[in-house]
Chains A and B, each alone.
Chain A
Amino acid sequence: MSYKTDSLVQAIKDSLVAAQYDSIQVAREAIALEQQMQSDSYVVKAYLIYLPIAILLTALVSHKLFKSGKVFMLDIFNQKEDIAHSTNKLFELGFYLINLGFALKILYIGRIAGKKELIEALANKIGFFAIYLGVMLFANLFLFFRGKKVAGQKRRDRAMYEKKVVLSKE
């Protein structure tokens, strides 16, 4: 074989290898795109499952919490119905807002390959949100108990003060 044919064969071999490499690359990219699209559809499904559950959980917790909150508020505001109702409602609104805001804030899910990972990711998200809700519940309960304590102290102070005024008039 002459030098020329040798180099020609080499060139053909090189181009074949390059073509093979290119086709592998193309196939890899196609597979990656396919996986990405599948993952995207799973992620959308996960969002659509997670959001209603988070909203329902928030609604349930705030309903339970502020049904008993009304009693605390009536006690704090000396049985004044309108202001106790307003305060309770305002705290309820604040509770809804901050929890739904947090639920949306932690929405991001990176990649989901299959059904198994879908369930794992959802369990992780919902569990974390439930723990957060529990912490917020106890924070609000702490607020209620503290308000009750302060109101009781104020009531005692005022009773003492009025007693003093009556005594000084006598």
Chain B
Amino acid sequence: MNIIITYIIYLLLSAILVLLVGYWFYHYGEVYIIMLIPEDVQTAKLLNGLLLLGYYLLNLGFILFFLRQINSLSSWNESILFIAQNLSLNIIVVALMHYLNMLWLYLLSISSFLKHKNSIS
């Protein structure tokens, strides 16, 4: 009984986390995609939506695939601990992916700036 409730709470929290964070990244990241493809805003928006879909698939798949099994729960203490440890892993993975994406965007923006500079000269 407890185990099922713990699984449900954990999965709900993880899903809410991934969906909310993905929406925020989608919302605030549009500017970057448009910055990278300034000549075609329509394509940039489509690309942004596809990226969001890929993000959702990757993260929800990660969460479901690596769902750790609980063999026995003796008290609420252990169920809080299970939720916290697994959720923290998910959050840290999402955060590291986010920082890597920022780095990647930064490198892309440098290379597009260099291309622009070369095409002028």
Q: Which of A47, A94, A97 contacts B102 (CB 8 A)?
A: A94
Question: A97 to chain B: which residues have CB within 8 Å?
Answer: 21, 91-92, 94-95, 98
Chain B residue at minimum C-beta to C-beta distance from A99:
B95
Residue A131, interface by CB 8 Å: no
A86 to B87 Cα, complex, angstroms: 26
Binary per-residue interface labels of chain A (33-45) against chain B in the complex, 1 for a CB within 8 Å, 0 otherwise: 0000100100110
Residue A9, interface by CB 8 Å: no
Residue B84, interface by CB 8 Å: yes
Could you tell me the dominant secondary structure of chain B's interface residues? Answer: helix
Q: Is the CB of B117 within 8 A of A161?
A: yes
A window 85-121: CB within 8 A of B:
86, 89-91, 93-94, 97-98, 100-105, 107-108
Q: Which of A40, A86, A101, A108 contacts B95 (CB 8 A)?
A: A101
Given contacts A83-B31, A97-B91, A97-B94, contact A104 B84 (CB under 8 A): yes
Query: Which candidate, B41-49, B50-58, B59-67, B72-80, is the interface stretch facing chain A?
Result: B72-80
Q: State how many residues of chain A have any CB contact under 8 Å with chain B.
A: 25
Could you tell me the dominant secondary structure of chain A's interface residues? Answer: helix
Residue A6, interface by CB 8 Å: no
Interface size, B (range)? 20 to 34
Question: Shortest Cβ distance from B103 into chain A, in angstroms?
Answer: 11
Residue A82, interface by CB 8 Å: yes
Q: Is the CB of B81 within 8 A of A89?
A: no
B window 80-99: CB within 8 A of A:
80-81, 84-85, 87-92, 94-96, 98-99
Question: Shortest Cβ distance from B24 into chain A, in angstroms?
Answer: 6
B-to-A contact residues, CB < 8 Å: 21, 24-25, 28-32, 35, 74-77, 80-81, 84-85, 87-92, 94-96, 98-99, 102, 117, 120-121
A-to-B contact residues, CB < 8 Å: 37, 40, 43-44, 47, 82-83, 86, 89-91, 93-94, 97-98, 100-105, 107-108, 161, 165
